[in-house]
A and B are shown apart, each in its own frame.
Chain A
Amino acid sequence: MSHATTLAAPARRRAGDGGDRLFAGLCLGAGILVLLLLGAIILTLFLGGLPAFRAFGAEFLWSTAWSPVEGREKYGALVPIFGTVVSAVLAILVAVPLAFGVAFFLTELAPPWLRRPVGTAIELLAAIPSIIYGMWGLFVLVPLVQQYIQLTLGDALGAIPLVGFLFASNSFAGTSLFSAALVLAIMILPFIAATMRDVFGQVPAVYKESAYGLGCTRWEVMRGVVLPYTRVSVVGGIMLGLGRALGETMAVTFVIGNANRLPTSLFDPSTTIASIVAMEFPESLMGSLKQSSLLALGFLLFVISFIVLAISRLLLRSRLKG
């Protein structure tokens, strides 16, 4: 064997060149494949949705109609878009402070013996399939929201002028925008918390110790040293969570109440793009206006996700420059 190797040494060099080229080519191919796939998906969704865009024009974007009745079909995307964005934003509002607390606790406050179990528990939360969250939400969370949160909040806050309508609802089934946002918040919490914990842990100890040496409190160190140092990754983690919340399907379907009406209250039922596509797709005939409208909704979800991504990039860039 060794004899053969020595003999083949010059040849091996050439073979190595070929291997390098092959490897580079494969990597290039993989990169291009992703681009092609993305392009193909966008194109498929757009072409599939084209008949709906043609039939309804720009009105598709702000129409609240969703009536598949034969002969007077009419579809609009406003309710699902509204539900998608509002439930995701609400989920972020609930999840980010919680995730920050978890990460702060795990990196700064928790005794070492507690860090591992709590950290593992957070990671396990991320491993639970979304259908389980949906079932748990429907059977456990929704009755709690219905009996305790909705009535309490409705009584206490419903009379406040200007914002009271947000809490007063005529729908008492418990499946609502609020329940959906709550389930989503729990689902995205582990992603955001895990990202934050990891990046908080990467802040060089020297920086923190210097700040402590100057007499800073823990909170001042967090605000003045850790957060500025990790801002990019923290925003990245939040965007990851937002992206997941926008596209989540099964869990939301179970608890949002699936009503194609514009909600006026947090406790009104609503629907999301992913949810309406999952609910209506099996009963849509190939080539029908309904299927085309569902594909158009998929395209719009793509656009929304893209806008979210673009905004996060923009935020990061302007902050980094400043």
Chain B
Amino acid sequence: MQRRNLLIATGIAATAPLLGRPALAEQTPITGAGASFPRPVYERWGQAAREAIGVQLNYQSIGSGGGINQITNRTVDFGASDAPLAAAQLAERHLLQFPTVMGSVVLIVNLPGVADNALRLTPELVADLFLGKLTRWNDPRIAEQNKELKLPNLPVAPVYRADASGTTFVFTSYLARVSEAWKSGPGAATSVQWPGGQGARGNEGVANTVRQTPGGIGYTENAYATVNRLVTTQLRNKAGQFVKPEMPNFLAAAKAANWNAPNFAADLIDLDGPETWPIVSPTFILLPVNPTPDRLAGSLATMKFFDWAYKNGAEAARRLEYIPLPDAVHAAIRSAWAAVKSPDGKAIWTA
């Protein structure tokens, strides 16, 4: 008897939080998997959207490659990837691709006596630092750009992401764009064969290794660098101006981009414009264009979720140091959703 009472008591305790939530029955669960870079903003949106539109998001940040695998196998409602897929791959896997937010990559350094955003780097210097061609921080080529700084005589210790990541893809894409030697050498990918330096795991590993190594230079997502108050650098953009990694400069890159690229695969690396930060990249969602009947509700809810996020999520994204997409792009994405069709050939997204 006592045991039964106990069971009932625990049963009530377990269900009580569920009962407290309004409209439990109307909650539509959606599952997504993929890139770890946008995870904080997707989770924040997920919390807000659960109350606003009754969509319960379960996002697993298993990496872009894992996300692409899972959505290809249709084990989730949507996949997420930092790098855009080629048109042929999208067609082969029957996927629709659209961007959600943008992020930027910044350089972090550990140089005693050098303040935040004081060091000025040119694209050639960055490439040569990571290629191992510049080995000392007091090299005349670096000093030439930084006449007012007293640079220490320290060895250059490049630090990179050891785990394959979208951040590395964006950063190496930038290096390959600005440096012919990098393009024909290590190249651009989620992980490359680095000519020198140390690998560390995740943004936190890179930041920690740079912090521990005088003379260290690494790259992280801007969100991570800002939240952890890391020492970042200026960078010379295509227009020849030195720019700081700040929101107006990121937004300038978003404005300069050509969003009419097929499958929204806009290229935001090293764009023109006096204020443009050169290393910005969108992150993408992959949605099946032919969802199976049991995933129809999930597909619709996914579109509803991102529709809501485009309308209401910009502030939350900005607070997490992500860059919202321009409104015109949101409209274009909504019209692209017409390509997602149920088995009887009707578009699922009607709004």
The answer to whether A70 touches B189 (Cβ under 8 A) is yes
- Known A67-B193, A70-B189; judge A143-B212 contact (CB<8 A): yes
- Contact: A170 with B164, CB < 8 Å? no
How far does the alpha carbon of A139 sit from the alpha carbon of B196 in the complex, in Å?
22
Mask for A44-75, Cβ within 8 A of B = 1, else 0?
A: 00000000000000000000011111101000
Please give me the residue from chain B that is nearest to A288 by CB atom. B65
Known A-B contacts A283-B65, A284-B65; A68 and B208 likewise in contact (beta carbons under 8 Å) = no
Chain B nearest CB from A272 CB (Å) reads 12
* Cβ–Cβ < 8 Å partners of A172 in chain B: 155, 157, 213, 215
Interface of B is mostly: loop
Complex CA gap A72/B188 in Å reads 11
> Contact: B69 with A286, CB < 8 Å?
yes
Please report which residues of chain B, range 167-208, place their CB below 8 angstroms from some CB of chain A when the two chains form the complex: 186-194, 196-201, 205, 208
Interface SS majority for chain A: loop
Cα separation A173 to B215 with both chains bound (whole Å)? 9
CB <8 Å contact, A259 and B72: no
In the bound complex, how far is the Cα of B209 from the Cα of A261, in angstroms? Answer: 19
Residues of B within 8 A of A146 (CB): 212-213
- Whether B296 sits at the interface, judged by CB under 8 Å, is no
Nearest Cβ in chain A — how far from B66, in angstroms? Answer: 5
Closest Cβ of chain A to B160, distance in Å, is 9
Q: Say which residue of A68, A259, A286 sits within 8 Å of B198 (CB atoms).
A: A259
A68-B199 in contact given A174-B212, A282-B163 (Cβ < 8 Å) = no
Interface size on B, residues (CB 8 A): 39
B189 to A68, Cβ gap below 8 A? Answer: yes
Chain B residues whose C-beta falls within 8 Å of the C-beta of A68 in the assembled complex: 164, 189-192
**CB of B159 closer than 8 Å to a CB of A:** yes
A253 to B163, CA, bound (A): 10
List the A residue with the shortest CB-CB distance to B183.
A69
How many chain A residues touch B (CB < 8 A): the figure is 34
Does A265 touch B at the CB level, under 8 Å? no
Bound CA span A66–B72, Å = 26
Is the Cβ of B212 less than 8 Å from the Cβ of A171? Answer: no
Q: Is B125 an interface residue (CB 8 A)?
A: no
Q: Is B213 in contact with A69, judged by CB distance below 8 angstroms? A: no
- For B163, the closest partner residue in chain A by CB is A279
Contacts of B339 in A (CB 8 A): none
CB contact under 8 A between A138 and B163, given known A65-B193, A269-B198, A284-B65: no
Known contacts being A172-B157, A282-B63, A283-B63, is A67 close to B212, with CB within 8 Å? Answer: no
Q: Does B316 contact A (CB under 8 A)?
A: no
Give the distance to chain A from B204, nearest Cβ to Cβ, in Å.
10
Closest approach, in angstroms, between the C-beta of A275 and any C-beta of chain B? 8
- In Å, the complex CA distance between A68 and B193 comes to 8
Rounded to whole angstroms, the CA-CA distance of A138 and B205 in the bound complex is: 9
User: Are B208 and A173 neighbours in the complex by a CB distance under 8 Å?
Assistant: no
Chain B nearest CB, measured from A63 CB (Å): 11
Nearest opposing residue in chain B for A134, CB measure: B201
Give residues 132-191 of A contacting B (CB, 8 Å).
Answer: 138-139, 142-143, 146, 170-175
Q: Counting CB contacts under 8 A, is A257 at the interface?
A: yes
Contact indicator B64/A283 (Cβ below 8 Å): yes
Given contacts A69-B187, A284-B65, contact A175 B200 (CB under 8 A): yes
**Could you list 28 examples of A-B contacts with CB < 8 Å?**
A66-B193, A68-B190, A68-B191, A138-B205, A138-B208, A143-B212, A170-B155, A171-B157, A172-B155, A172-B157, A172-B213, A174-B212, A175-B198, A175-B200, A254-B201, A258-B201, A259-B197, A259-B199, A260-B193, A260-B194, A261-B193, A279-B162, A279-B164, A280-B164, A280-B191, A283-B63, A283-B165, A284-B65
